[in-house]
Amino acid sequence: MKNLIGMYECKVDAKGRLMLPSGLKKQLAAELQEGFVLKRSVFNTCLELHTLKEWNGVMAEVNQLNRFVKKNNDFIRRFTAGVRMVEADATARIQIPRDLINFAGIEKQLVLASVGNVVEIWDKVQYEKVVNDPEVDFGALAEEVMGNSNKTSADD
């Protein structure tokens, strides 16, 4: 599993092409030749860029679901809706299909946000609204999500 680092601001051109920023390009150098999978986010109006290796791992889990259970079949259909293989060209540009641009409300200014092993692709205005949402108490969220961990420090 590759943990990506960084948040990058960039632009998408009129044809939907996105130049990968150099910091991200360096982290993904080994994967540039294999291509990527681009999909809709489950919880947000952004896109997710997966390396092919990571995507294959996700799909290995999804493929274990029993397709004869209707809710599993419905989930798989919605989860994979709009999924596209994308390749970087010689200048490390990727093409974002128009339907995915529309889904994410992408205008011109983008934010590429590394989230573990995935890169989220956001319209900049949308990204800033989500990360600066005054309704979310990040301290309380951090405590709820991470505070009940059984992890202890090395000094204990």
pLDDT tens-digit readout, 124-135: 999 999 998 888
- Reported pTM: 0.88
Q: Reply yes or no on whether the pLDDT at 156 is more than 60.
A: no
What is the Cα–Cα distance from 135 to 69, expressed in whole angstroms? 37
pLDDT of residue 1: 57
What kind of architecture, by CATH, is found in domain 7-146? Answer: 3-Layer(aba) Sandwich (3.40)
Strands (E), 12-147: 17-19, 36-40, 47-51, 84-86, 93-95, 109-115, 118-123
Residue 147 DSSP one-character state: T
- Write the burial class of residue 143 (CB in 10 Å: 0-12 exposed, 13-18 middle, 19+ buried): exposed
pLDDT tens-digit profile of 88-115?
Answer: 999 999 999 999 999 999 999 999 999 9
Half-sphere exposure of 75 (CA within 13 A, CB side): 13
Q: Where are the domains of the chain?
A: 7-146
